[in-house]
Chains A and B, each alone.
Chain A
C-alpha cells in the first residue's frame, strides 16, 4: 500500500517536472524528437487507423515521433506479450489492451494512473469528452488506468429477408427476449437447415462477455458489490439468464456450434439472428454482400436497470514511460489524441465500433451527422448510454472463472445439465476459484 502511495506521488512529481521541462526544453527538443513506443493488436483491423493517427499527430507535434511495434494478433497475445515484457523491463510506452485485462494490469501495477496527469493539465476527463461511463471502463478503484480507444457492444444482427419470410417486420424488431425468441423460432421453422439464432457462448473464455450482456440486460450483477463469495443458484437474475440459454435452444432454434462455424452459417444466409459485437459490422456487411439484406437491432433487455458490457480496448501508459518525464508527457499527449475526438473519428470511419469520445459527436467536421444515413451502425451508438465495464472477478483466477462460466453455459445449451444444476455446480466452482 505504502508503495502505491509513493508511486502516485512520483507520478505527480514527474508530471509537474514534465510540464516544466516541456516549457523549458522547446527550443532544444526541435533537434531531438522524443520517441514514444506504441503497441497495439489486430493489425487487420487497426493498421489503417494507427497509420493515419500517427501522420496527423506528428504533423501537429513535430517534436514527438511515434514508433509502432509490430501489432499482435489479438488481445490475448497482446496481454501475454505485455506481461512478458514487464518481467524483462521492455514494455512499450503506450499499449492498447483488451478491456477484460484492466484488472490484470492493475494487479501487476503495470500502468500509470492518468488522473494526476489530467489534474496537472488543469483539466478534467469530462471536459475532454470522456463521460463517466466511458471513464469507468479504464478505472479500477480510484485509479484511472486507461481510456477507451475502440469500444464495442453486443447487438442483434439479423437476416431481414428471413425475418420477413417468417412473418415479421424487420423495421420493428422486438427489444425483449420473449419477442426475439418468437422471431427466431419462426425463422427456424422455415426449413430443416435454417437455424433460428446464435450467440457466442462457450467456445472460449470470452463467451462470458456475451453472457454479461444477457445478465446485465436483465439488470443482474456478476457479483454483489462487496461480496466475498457468489450464490448464483439463489440469484433470480442468474436463474433467468441461464434459463434464457435453454429457451434459446428450445424456442429460438439456437444451434450448438463453434463461433466461426456459426458465423459462416449466418453469412451464408441460413440463420435468422446473430447476437454479436458491433466490431463485426464491417466484416459481416462485406462477407454478406447482397446475398441478403442485413439488419441490426438493439441487444434484448429485460429490466429498467438494464446495462450492457463493453468490449474492445483501452489505451494505457505503462510504467516504462515513467522513467523519462519528457517521454511520459509525450505519451500522455498521444494517449489523449488517440482516444480523443480525432482518434474516435478515425476508428468509427475506418473500422466501426462505437464512439469513445462524445466531443467527436458534436463536431460537424468529425462525426456529427455521420450516423444519420447509417442505420446499422447507429443501433450501436444508440445503446451507448447503457454501457458499463466488462466485469472481472477479483483475484488471479479471473479469466479461469470466465472460462468456467462458458463451460457451464455449454452444458445448458447441449442439455447435459439443467440450468439449475449448472448454477449449483458453477457456484461451487467459482467460490473455489475466488480469492480467500
Chain B
C-alpha cells in the first residue's frame, strides 16, 4: 500500500529558498503571489495493507526521521 506524506516548515521558521522562488516568480511576471513555502513530499510503499496501520506506520517514520519536529510539520495526505 502506498502512503504519501508532506513535510512543511512551521509558520515562524525562515524559508530562504521559498523567498528566492517567490522573487523569481515575481521576476517572471507572476505578480499575484503572497508567499512561497517550500516543503518535501514522500511516497512510501509499505508492506502493510491495512490503511489505518499503514498510516500509523508512516506517521511513526515522520516523527522519527522524515520530519524534524522543531521546525517541520508532517501530514499524511493519501493512502492507496
Does B associate with A?
no
Q: B-side interface residues toward A, CB under 8 Å?
A: none
Q: A-side interface residues toward B, CB under 8 Å?
A: none
